[in-house]
Structures are given as C-alpha cells and as structure tokens.
Amino acid sequence: MAKSRNSKLKVGIVGLGIGSLHAQGYSKCPEVEILAICDPVEEKVNRVAAQYGVQFTFTDYREMLRLKDLDAVSVCTPNYLHARVTIDCLRAGKHVICEKPLATTPKEGEAMVKTAMETGKLLMTAFNNRFRGDTQTLKRFIEKGDLGEIYFAKCGWIRRKGIPGFGSWFTQKSKAGGGPLLDIGVHVLDMTLWLMGSPKATSVSGATYAKFGPFGLGRGTWGCAEESGTFDVEDMGVGFIRLETGATIMLEASWASHIKADRYYASLMGTKGGADIDPFCIYTDINGAEVDITPNFPHVSGHEMEIRHFVDCLVKGTKCISTGEDGLEAIRILDAIYRSAETGKEVRLK
C-alpha cells in the first residue's frame, strides 16, 4: 500500500464543507499534493483552489476520477452520497477516507467495505476524535492495563442550541439518515468503543425525541439553513448497548436541550481505574489512597492528525486504526437504536 518516496501522494477532495478541514490537513503534509477538488458550488471550489494552489477543479466528481495521477480521495459530501461516491472512487482505483457517518444504513456500509476488499484499496472512516491528544494518551494507559477491565461506559454529545443547517440535508432523513445520533453521536460512540478495544455489540435499546426541531427551535450556526426545507429527524437520541465482552455503554446525543451548556464527554469505569474525556482525568487507588491523575497530552487537532494518519497509511504502510469496518459497526449500532425506538423493544444484533 505504501507509495514510492520519489513522488508526492496526489489527493482529491469531494465536498468542501467539512472537506475544507481535510484540505487544511493535507496542506501540512509535505509529501502530499492536493491535485483536485470538487464541489457543486463553483464559487467555493475557486476559493479553496486559490487558497491551496489546486491544479484541477470540478463540479462533478466523476470527471475528477478520470485523473490517472490521482491516488486518494477524501469523501466529504452530505451523508446520502457517501456510499455512491466512495464506491465509485474505490472502483476507479483510488484510496478513500470517508467522513462520518460512513453511510446512512448498514446495507450501504456493507457495500462500501465489500468494494474496498474487492479492489484492494484502503477505506478509512474519518473519526477525528480517535486522533485527539487526550484520547490517544488515554488509549495508551488502557493498553498498558492501568484501567483493568472496562465494564461500563457512558458517553454523549449534547447541545443547548445546535441544530445544523435547519431545513437543509442535515435535517432531512432521506439525505442525512437521521439526526444527532448520526451527526454527533457517532463520534462519541466510536471513540468509546475504540477506547474499550472495539468489541462488537450484541443488543441495543434506544429512544428518540423531536421536541425542538418540529417547532423551528434550537437552531445552531453550522450549515446553511433552508427555510423551505423540512425537519423529519430526531433532535435527541439515547441508547443502551450491550457488548460481546459483557460490558455496556450508555449513549446520548442531542442537538437541542434545556441544559446549562454544551457538553461532549466519555466516562469509562474499569476494575483498576476509571477515566473521563473532556476534561481528561484518570481515577485510581495507589497504596490505599484515592488518586486523581491529570496526564499531560499534546493539544493537537484531531482533524489534522486523522489526515496525517491516512497519509502515513498510504506513504509509509502504517496500519489503519480507523477502518471502514469500524465505521460500519457504528452504523449498525445506531441503526439498531432507531429500530428499537420505533418498536419499543430491544434489538438483537448478530
């Protein structure tokens, strides 16, 4: 998979919303050339091309894929296009890093993972929170056994007012696949699963609510609102997840809630110690005394470091730690939460 050291890795980006952060990450990798970018909004394409000195610009990604020198692509489109664009890129012989959520349904995710295996190309899921300095540091503590057996975790991302792009694809189930569970819940769910060693889920119970969006309340600043658009997703979702190890996770994700302030968190409980993320702290006993440890960690951008990792996988042959399979597992769990919410029953996973 490693690319020759004599030539730069040539990458393309499809979608220049969150894709602008991918461009920023690539620009800090000296062995990378941003060869091409694509977005249906030509003004956005021209602005990003000028900023990063991009040679080729497109409004149709299929034309971009005809570039023979293109090695890899960042797929940063709205959710409903992830599967189609990723599969086309893989079949065109390009490696792919796809923004979260990997897909809107498990079926789509399975097709993406299968295509990557068939083509022999890397499919990485852009879970930037795995690459933060605090989570990377905590992962090392866990791998050294300092927390012992992690048997329970709770995690969440809840906002006071943060519905993105009200009326746009963000709030339309046919395009987004869901609301905050798929938008921000997927981040904390994946991060927590990864810290726990990536066990598979065996059963899921969940509930969803829409108490703000249907009334035009709880709007955030991210994304472009479309007043004529619709809101037909949840604005809060919760889940209880049983894992094959016997451990369990409680998850909450909300775009809008009557709370004091926005909160992003993960709390892990182990037999030798516990830990919180954001703020980062480890709790244990030493010589019979309770001890709270606040480790030093590098304050780095998870977005930039995930791009650095993707590049290292292709240039150095580094083993990918955020695979398409990881993205698929998160989608399977979130899909089960939605199904449980609809039926009021626990959903068993194979």
Q: Give, for all 350 residues of the chain, the pLDDT tens digit.
A: 555 556 899 999 999 999 999 999 999 999 999 999 999 999 999 999 999 999 999 999 999 999 999 999 999 999 999 999 999 999 999 999 999 999 999 999 999 999 999 999 999 999 999 999 999 999 999 999 999 999 999 999 999 999 999 999 999 999 999 999 999 999 999 999 999 999 999 999 999 999 999 999 999 988 889 988 999 999 999 999 999 999 999 999 999 999 999 999 999 999 999 999 999 999 999 999 999 999 999 999 999 999 999 999 999 999 999 999 999 999 999 999 999 999 999 999 97
- CA dist 280 and 200 (Å) reads 25
| Cis ω before 40 (30° cut-off from 0) | no
Phi and psi angles of residue 288, each rounded to the nearest 5 degrees, phi first: 80, 0
Maximum pairwise Cα distance, the chain: 65
H helices of the chain, in order, are: 19-27, 42-52, 61-64, 82-91, 106-119, 133-143, 173-176, 180, 186-195, 302-315, 324-343
What domains are there in the chain, each with its CATH number?
Answer: 9-127 (3.40.50.720), 130-302+331-348 (3.30.360.10)
Query: 275 near 281, Cβ under 8 Å?
Result: yes
